Amino acid sequence: MHTPPRVRFAPSPTGPLHIGGARTALFNWAFAKGRAGAFLLRSEDTDRERSTEESERGILDGLRSLGLQWDEGPDLGGPHAPYRQSERLETHLGTAGQLRRAGWAYPCFCTSERLTALREAAQAAKQTPRYDGHCRDLSDEDAAAKITAGERFTLRFKLPEGETVFTDAIRGEVTFAHEELDDWIMVRADGSPTYNFVCVCDDLAMGITHVIRGEEHLVNTPKQILLFQVLGREVPTFAHLPLMLGKGGKKMSKRDNDTALAAYIAQGFPPEAILNYLALQGWALDGETEIFTPEVLVENFRLENVGKSGSIFDLEKFSWMAGEYLRAEPLSQTAERALPFVLAAGFTTEAELRADWPQFEAAVATTRERVRLYSEIPAQLAWLYEADDAVTFDEKAEANARKHGAEALALLGEFAEWVAPRLTAGEDAESLITATKAFVKEHGVKFPFLFQPLRCALTGKPGGPEIADLMALLGPERTAARLTHGARRLA
Which residues, 98 to 127, sit near ligand GLU by CB under 6 A? none
Q: How far apart are CA 167 and CA 220, in angstroms?
A: 15
Q: How far apart are CA 323 and CA 350, in angstroms?
A: 25
Selected range binding ligand GLU among 10-18, 128-136, 283-291, 446-454, rule: CB under 6 A:
10-18
Measured in Å, how far apart are the chain's first and last C-alpha atoms? Answer: 83
Q: If you ran DSSP here, which 8-state letter would residue 394 be given?
A: P
How many residues lie near ligand GLU (CB under 6 A)?
Answer: 7
Does residue number 209 form part of the binding site for ligand GLU (CB under 6 A)?
no
The site string for ligand GLU over 17-56 (x = CB under 6 A, - otherwise) reads ---------------------------x------------
- Find the shortest distance in angstroms from Cβ 202 to ligand GLU: 9
Q: How far apart are CA 238 and CA 202, in angstroms?
A: 15
Does residue number 12 form part of the binding site for ligand GLU (CB under 6 A)?
yes
Candidates 217, 337, 455, 461; binder of ligand GLU (CB under 6 A) is 217
Selected range binding ligand GLU among 9-17, 100-108, 128-136, 145-153, rule: CB under 6 A:
9-17
Candidates 213, 337, 368, 482; binder of ligand GLU (CB under 6 A) is 213
Does residue number 240 form part of the binding site for ligand GLU (CB under 6 A)?
no
Q: How far apart are CA 356 and CA 83, in angstroms?
A: 46
Question: Is 317 in the active site?
Answer: no
Does residue number 202 form part of the binding site for ligand GLU (CB under 6 A)?
no
Selected range binding ligand GLU among 5-13, 240-248, 328-336, 443-451, rule: CB under 6 A:
5-13
Q: How far apart are CA 294 and CA 299, in angstroms?
A: 9
User: Under 8 Å CB-to-CB from 391, ≥6 apart: which residues?
Assistant: 383, 457, 458, 459, 460, 482, 485, 486
CB burial readout 459-482, b (16+ within 10 A) else e: bbbbebbebbbbbbbbebebbbbb
Report angle CA 327, 330, 332 to the nearest 5 degrees.
115
User: Which three-class secondary structure state does DSSP give residue 9?
Assistant: strand
User: Which three-class secondary structure state does DSSP give residue 110?
Assistant: coil
- Find the shortest distance in angstroms from Cβ 103 to ligand GLU: 26
Catalytic one of 254, 403, 441, 446: 254
Selected range binding ligand GLU among 7-15, 423-431, 456-464, 474-482, rule: CB under 6 A:
7-15
Does residue number 58 form part of the binding site for ligand GLU (CB under 6 A)?
no
> So which residues are the catalytic ones?
254
| Residues lying near ligand GLU in the complex (CB under 6 A) | 10-12, 44, 199, 213, 217
